[in-house]
């Protein structure tokens, strides 16, 4: 079921599209085999869920009381209104590799709620007067005459657009380590990757050279670097923020959203991006907050530092009166294979002209991923789209009973740049998959998802300040942030931001 194209068929497909394959044959063959192994998670999907009523994919909600009576989430109201947050001071020393271009005297429209807020924009979006490179020399030479709508919305709200920030080239990688303009440092963990693909966006906020940043998120590319760098990042509801003026990776999965040091600036940015005129974060909730703790797929493959920090966060939430109930989304375990099929197909289509004309200028890992997309088939793509629709129903069902869902943002803390695999439960897992496995389901479902930083994580290392729980004889535990992912109802981004701000207060 759902076979991939063979290496011989890949070569024929490349010739049909006018492509010269530049990746070494052995590496491409290995990549095709790796992707095909992940596709088994899609092949294991019950065909009935594709061919029949999408409500067959409803969530499995389990509760702790012996006689479950929960049929809907409890009433929750929000009181008061927080004032607009003041613009924080930023560090003026903006340079590479975090920043790609810096505008010394930007055009500003003062007077709006974001007046004084200095912003870095992922170099995948058009910024007036800046070259759009998408992180690679293959895209040099194109200077934007006008802002992308998302950038224009922030500028109209008074923000100071300071320039463009780095990224994993073409936004096609979760580590943030592949750009022709260097690798941004992770300000939260010395010697660790920043995460990607919005690496510069998270690094700029974490290092203080930007008070706000814009990023894109196709499989977790806002939430992953935000989690690894210890800041807040939001992937809004699909379609809420325009992606016009942004170089596409996967139009089905692409989102644009903000990053900030806390929920308040992210909420202020979203108010401008979504056109919520006059909306502000409320002050406090009135009523019982019920949160679904995602288990099953979302509890698997998670390393000890992340699992420990997440469990501690859940304990804190319960102590402060948040009702936690276990929830499973059975369809989520089929998403990794669907992501290979859907993203591989659309990324190749979006970048076909670049690959055909300037593929030799692309970073090797990005070129390899694009060429591996030649193995995808229309049948794999169609089933992946159908799975996305069923998963959306499943998440909607869970959120009929809870105000939000939570899980870790990434399965690992930030590793070193030379780490390609990590050991989880005795198995070797790629860093790429460990970073994206928990975020990608919500690109498929389209629900808004925000990451909050937890400060009690760690990674084992040979140097650095020992983190919590280190014992004599162990390698040093270097303090490293962990992300708490909060998922809200589709279209209810304001409620998600209000709830996330409340959880942030509890956890800080």
Per DSSP, the three-state class of 106 is: coil
Cα 127 from Cα 98, distance rounded (Å): 16
Q: Which of 436, 433, 391 is CA-nearest to residue 409? A: 436
Rg (CA), the chain: 22
Cα 127 from Cα 106, distance rounded (Å): 10
C-alpha to C-alpha distances, 378 to 284, 373, 382, 383, 385, nearest whole angstrom: 49, 12, 6, 9, 11
Catalytic: which of 122, 199, 262, 500?
Answer: 122
Q: Hey, which residues does 285 pair with through a beta bridge?
A: 78
CB atoms within 10 A of CB 326: 15
Catalytic: which of 4, 101, 197, 490?
Answer: 197
CB 362 within 8 A of CB 136: yes
What tokens were used for 248? Answer: 């596409």
DSSP characters over 224-262: HHHHHHT-EEEE-STTSS--TTB--S-TTT-EEEEEESS
Catalytic: which of 23, 178, 199, 221?
Answer: 221
* Cα dihedral 375/379/384/386 (nearest 10): 170
CB-count burial class (<10 Å; 0-12, 13-18, 19+) for 357:
exposed
H or E, element range at 81: none
Per DSSP, the three-state class of 437 is: coil
CB-count burial class (<10 Å; 0-12, 13-18, 19+) for 95:
exposed
Q: Hey, which residues does 165 pair with through a beta bridge?
A: 99, 122
CB 54 within 8 A of CB 393: yes
Q: Is 197 a catalytic residue?
A: yes
C-alpha to C-alpha distances, 121 to 159, 171, 369, 384, nearest whole angstrom: 12, 13, 25, 31
Q: Which of 151, 165, 336, 335 is CA-nearest to residue 256? A: 151
Cα 430 from Cα 294, distance rounded (Å): 22
Distance between the two ends of the chain, CA-based, in angstroms? 49
Cα 419 from Cα 436, distance rounded (Å): 16
Q: Is 122 a catalytic residue?
A: yes
Per DSSP, the three-state class of 505 is: helix
**Beta strands 290-294 and 404-408, pairing class:** parallel
Residues recognised as catalytic: 122, 197, 221
């Amino acid at each position: 079921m759902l076979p991939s194209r063979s290496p011989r068929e890949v070569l024929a497909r490349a010739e049909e599209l006018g492509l010269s394959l530049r990746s070494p044959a052995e590496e491409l063959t290995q990549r095709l085999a790796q992707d095909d192994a992940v596709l088994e998670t899609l092949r294991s999907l019950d065909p009935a869920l594709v061919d029949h009523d999408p409500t067959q994919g409803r969530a499995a909600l389990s509760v702790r009381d012996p006689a479950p009576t929960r049929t809907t989430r409890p009433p929750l109201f929000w009181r008061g209104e927080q004032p607009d947050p003041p613009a924080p001071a930023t560090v003026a020393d903006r340079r590479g590799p975090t920043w790609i271009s810096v505008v010394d005297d930007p055009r500003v429209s003062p007077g709006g709620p974001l007046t004084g807020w200095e912003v870095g924009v992922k170099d995948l979006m058009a910024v007036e007067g800046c070259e759009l490179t998408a992180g690679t020399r293959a895209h040099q030479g194109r200077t934007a005459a006008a802002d992308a709508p998302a950038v224009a919305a922030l500028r109209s709200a008074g923000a100071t657009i300071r320039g463009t920030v780095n990224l994993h080239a073409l936004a096609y990688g979760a580590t943030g380590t592949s750009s022709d303009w260097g690798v941004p440092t992770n300000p939260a963990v010395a010697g660790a990757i920043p995460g990607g693909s919005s690496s510069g966006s998270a690094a700029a906020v974490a290092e203080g050279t930007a008070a706000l940043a814009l990023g894109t998120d196709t499989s977790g590319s806002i939430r992953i670097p935000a989690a690894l760098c210890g800041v807040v990042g939001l992937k809004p509801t699909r379609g809420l923020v325009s992606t016009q003026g942004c170089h596409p990776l996967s139009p089905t999965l692409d989102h644009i959203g903000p990053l900030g040091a806390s929920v308040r600036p992210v909420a202020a940015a979203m108010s401008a991006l979504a056109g919520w005129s006059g909306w502000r974060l409320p002050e406090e909730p009135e009523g019982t907050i019920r949160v679904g703790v995602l288990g099953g797929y979302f509890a698997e493959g998670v390393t000890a530092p992340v699992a420990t920090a997440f469990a501690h966060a859940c304990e804190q939430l319960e102590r402060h009166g948040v009702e936690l109930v276990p929830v499973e989304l059975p369809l989520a375990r089929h998403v990794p294979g669907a992501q290979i099929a859907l993203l591989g197909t659309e990324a190749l289509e979006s970048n076909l002209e670049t690959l055909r004309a300037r593929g030799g200028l692309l970073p090797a890992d990005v070129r390899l991923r694009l060429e591996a997309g030649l193995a995808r088939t229309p049948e794999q793509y169609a089933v992946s789209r159908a799975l996305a629709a069923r998963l959306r129903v499943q998440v909607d069902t869970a959120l009929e009973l809870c105000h939000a869902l939570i899980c870790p943002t990434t399965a690992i803390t930030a590793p070193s740049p030379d780490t390609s695999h990590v050991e989880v439960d005795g198995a070797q897992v790629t860093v790429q998959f460990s970073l994206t496995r928990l975020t990608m389901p919500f690109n498929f479902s389209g629900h808004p998802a925000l990451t909050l930083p937890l400060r009690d994580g760690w990674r084992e290392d040979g140097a650095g300040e020992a983190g919590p729980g280190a014992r004599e004889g162990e390698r040093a535990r270097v303090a490293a942030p962990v992300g708490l992912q909060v998922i809200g109802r589709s279209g209810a981004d304001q409620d998600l931001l209000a709830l996330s701000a409340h959880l942030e207060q509890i956890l800080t």
